[in-house]
Chain A
Amino acid sequence: MLNRLQLKHHTGKTLMMHAVLITYTLIALFPIVVIIINSFKSRKAIFNDPLSLPTPETFSIVGFEQVLLRSSFDVFFSNSLIVTVLALFFVLLFGAMAAWALTEYKFRGNLLIAILIAMGIMIPIRLGTVSILNLMADLNLVNTLTSLVLVYIAQGLPLAVYILSEFIRQIPKELKEAARCDNVSEYKIFFTIVLPLVRPAMATVAVFTMIPIWNDLWFPLILAPGDETQTITLGVQQFVGQYVTDWNAVLSSLTLAIVPVLILYLIFSRQLIRGLTAGAVK
């Protein structure tokens, strides 16, 4: 009897927990779902019945047609892709190299450099925007994707160096010492032994680096607002500002910005969450 009572209490508690979690999950998803389903509806249906799924009568992709007609989403998209991929590549490469140098070799100024880089984790690069714009103007890089790539490399490096250092420190000394006994050069040790070993950490760093770059509005707005160099975030922001009354177009542009990220997220969520929960960021 007691047993059954306890069991009941137990399931009741579990049900409560599920109820709370499902409620919160709905709160988290509802706004996004509403935007996406309405982007596939006619203007009338959007206003008459915003919460229902598109039906054959209400289905319409006029919004998407408008977006593609009036703005160059393909250009925005490829700009974002180029900037993100290039910046990511260099953050990972330079970050791993710097992390290796700082953890492996003893030299004068080592600690100072490490602290300087660590400060970058907490101090946002945005605060130097005034001078960054001056610098880019001097270098003739305003309204180029290069300026964005450079800024994002500088932005991503501190966290990358920090996380990768933690991992490089865990590589057994014996591995490196064995290689040195075989007269393998320092460059080869890094590229053939260390880099492959920190690959799992690279995945974590990649996710943490990629998201802020892809989503950033500040630097595209300030360094590269030209039509040819707009990233997707800036492009959507400008588009929505311009066609604010065209609900079909606005909803479609938001959907176009949301869906690719969501697909990528669902594919890589396991990796991302593992990175977040592995205590890589302490």
Chain B
Amino acid sequence: MADVKLNNIKKSYDKTEVLHGIDLDIKHGEFVVLVGASGCGKSTLLRMIAGLEDITSGDLEIAGSQVNNLPPAKRGIAMVFQSYALYPHMNVLKNMSYGLKIAGKGKDFIQEKVVNAAKILHIDHLLDRLPRELSGGQRQRVAIGRAIVRDPNVFLFDEPLSNLDAALRVQTRVEIGKLHQELGATIIYVTHDQVEAMTLGDKIVVMNEGRVEQYGSPLELYQHPTTKYVAGFIGSPQMNFLNGRITSIQSDHVELKLSNGTTTNAYVDASEHSVGDEITLGIRPEHLNEGNGEETALSGEVTLVEQLGEASYIYMRLNDDSEIIVRASGESTTTIGERINICFNAHSAHVFNSEDRALRRLKAGNVKSTAELAHLKAVGSRN
């Protein structure tokens, strides 16, 4: 079984530590996405798993044995690089068979492997082309094919879609998802794009400044972000944040007063906090509605309206100058300069303390979760 276990993995260059003790437990067959802003250490971590970077300290286990000091080829991994890294002087056939040839495999064996992989990827008619004669999408397939023929336990993808244009990116993303179903192998996939992460991953690792910020399923990250960073990173447009204070703590909810004067409830566990603590309220644009129909209402001036057809993004400024975005229905007639009221269900609110950690939500999950995820994927496929 090709589980991958990372146990307190650290990485330092000279004296600067760039990864501060990463623990991850990846089960066989899982599709795990490492996501985070550039410079968060996600690519370094992937390269350490691949064996292209030394591990400063900690243990890396693949399929039950420690592989810290094994060369890449002995780890049972295969990697797909951002630039595809196809050997420019070899044709597709040679590119895909190079690793097997180095490993000393027989000619017939190699031929069969390569042809099979090429068929899966629909590139069997391109085998005698050179990389420079291929389109971006085709190169991408060859790079994946080169990984497949090695029969690895674990596939590593380093931002494989970032060099493709938007349309091709969506198409290839879908194909990588299908490929995962077909091969059933473990995949570790690095990206900076949260939509790729949400749509592809069984599990997502959100990284920030060399640490794992949160590790969980896409829906978990969306509904129960444990930090403000994750809350802001997952979801598009970004979650709105409003400053406020706790005015009362009850067993199943807290009462908050926001800096613009609004009061609201939030259904979170505040047992470790006290009245008067500063907090940040988080509310996603898709959970805000025009009008006064729900528990909590805010009012402000509209500064910009973006009409997407099926929805409109209303940018507005509240009395205390904080800015928020509302995802309103596509039929909304709101125009710039108008003063409008918006409202939200207090069950959909998130609360973060002064250290940006989330207070545990008590009654979440009852808010149209499947629909929300569908929306998220729809947003993604447009990008």
Contact = CB atoms under 8 A, between A and B. Distances in A.
A and B touch in the complex (CB under 8 A): yes
Interface of A: 2-3, 6
Contacts of B69: 2-3, 6
A6 B70 CA distance: 10
4 contacts: A2-B69, A3-B68, A3-B69, A6-B69
Interface in B164-181: none
Nearest to A4: B69
Contacts of B68: 3
Contacts of A2: 69
Going nearest first, the 4 A-B pairs with the smallest beta carbon separation are A2-B69, A3-B69, A6-B69, A3-B68
Interface string B54-88: 00000000000000110000000000000000000
Contacts of A3: 68-69
B66 to A, nearest CB: 10
A2 B67 CA distance: 11
A118 B69 CA distance: 53
Contacts of A6: 69
A6 B68 CA distance: 12
Nearest to B55: A3
A205 to B, nearest CB: 30
Nearest to A10: B54
A263 B69 CA distance: 48
A6 B55 CA distance: 13
A3 B60 CA distance: 14
Nearest to A5: B69
A2 B74 CA distance: 15
B157 to A, nearest CB: 27
B311 to A, nearest CB: 37
A2 B66 CA distance: 12
Nearest to A6: B69
A2 B69 CA distance: 7
A2 B68 CA distance: 10
A268 B354 CA distance: 55
A146 B147 CA distance: 66
Nearest to B70: A2
A122 to B, nearest CB: 26
A108 B141 CA distance: 46
A189 to B, nearest CB: 35
A2 B71 CA distance: 12
Nearest to B71: A6
A3 B68 CA distance: 9
B55 to A, nearest CB: 9
A10 to B, nearest CB: 10
A3 B69 CA distance: 6
A3 B57 CA distance: 11
B126 to A, nearest CB: 30
A3 B54 CA distance: 10
B320 to A, nearest CB: 44
B134 to A, nearest CB: 25
B65 to A, nearest CB: 13
A6 B69 CA distance: 8
B47 to A, nearest CB: 17
Nearest to B69: A2
Nearest to A7: B54
A2 B70 CA distance: 10
Nearest to A3: B69
A180 B189 CA distance: 50
A148 B68 CA distance: 66
B69 to A, nearest CB: 5
A15 to B, nearest CB: 19
A128 to B, nearest CB: 40
